[in-house]
Amino acid sequence: MSIKNSLNNIKSKLPNNVTLVAVSKTKPIPEIMEAYEAGQRVFGENKIQEMAAKYEEMPKDIEWHMIGHIQRNKVKYMASFVSLIHAVDSLKLLKEINKQALKNNRTISCLLQVKIADEDSKFGLPEEDVLQLLVSEEFTSLQNIKIEGLMGMATFTNDEAQLIQEFQKLNTLYNTLKNKYNLSTLSMGMSGDYPLAITNGSNMVRVGSAIFGERNYSK
């Protein structure tokens, strides 16, 4: 299927309240432009310098989301333009984002990544630490960031019961915090599991290979 058809096919299945982040990491600009021409405006990348290079080259009405793990010393390369940072998992990182946001005279929207998978390799804050962070004075003193919601990555498995359990865990946490902390975004679900993530509360899905095809990392 063409990129355009894959994209339209996925979009036709998404409820109205769900935002589609087209994950374009490793993909060349002409392929991303195909999705752009088909109407897609929100793209996700997992490497800051790759995202910055694409930002420079591509139309300026694109919303760029950083979905990958972040090294603090690279925040400066995206601070002027990034529209949402998904994988924030420490106060140290929030402080650096705040500092760079201030330098650029803007507020940067972030999601806190929560660890829901049972794999060690997945980053994220333990569930118990999320509230602690939100109430800490160090956090509330940061004026140039806004926590818009939570993000999670489920275990890489076909076990539907386990996926549901992990998505539900994050959805429950999100619902407990939503009103008090003014959250509006729950980012969970990728190509393999986004329909299930949506059924379990997600309103932002990050879909790459189902739109652009498999990624080739060996190139």
Give the residue nearest to ligand PLP (CB): 208
Closest contact distance (angstroms) between CB of 195 and ligand PLP is 12
Query: Which residues are within 8 A (CB) of 43 and not within 5 positions of it... i.e. 6 or more apart?
Result: 21, 22, 23, 24, 32, 35, 54, 62, 63, 64, 65
How far apart (Å, rounded) are the C-alpha atoms in residues 178 and 181?
Answer: 6
CB 21 within 8 A of CB 204: yes
Say whether residue 24 binds ligand PLP (CB under 6 A). no
How far apart (Å, rounded) are the C-alpha atoms in residues 138 and 191?
Answer: 36
Site track 52-71 with ligand PLP (rule: CB under 6 A), x = hit = ---------------xx---
How far apart (Å, rounded) are the C-alpha atoms in residues 132 and 140?
Answer: 11
Closest contact distance (angstroms) between CB of 209 and ligand PLP is 3
Q: What is the DSSP string of 121-165?
A: T---B-HHHHHHHHH-HHHHT--SEEEEEEEE---S-S-HHHHHH
Site track 137-166 with ligand PLP (rule: CB under 6 A), x = hit = ----------------x-------------
Pick the stretch among 33-41, 160-168, 177-185, 202-210 that binds ligand PLP (CB under 6 A).
Answer: 202-210
- Closer by beta carbon to ligand PLP, 69 or else 95: 69
- Closer by beta carbon to ligand PLP, 90 or else 191: 191
- Closer by beta carbon to ligand PLP, 171 or else 187: 187
CB 4 within 8 A of CB 190: no
Using CB under 6 A, which residues numbered 97 to 126 contact ligand PLP?
none
Nearest to 100 by CA among 62, 70, 59: 70
Say whether residue 186 binds ligand PLP (CB under 6 A). no
Closest contact distance (angstroms) between CB of 191 and ligand PLP is 3
Say whether residue 191 binds ligand PLP (CB under 6 A). yes
Pick the stretch among 5-13, 50-58, 168-176, 189-197 that binds ligand PLP (CB under 6 A).
Answer: 189-197
CB 191 within 8 A of CB 209: yes
Residues that bind ligand PLP (CB under 6 A): 23, 25, 46, 67-68, 153, 190-192, 206-210
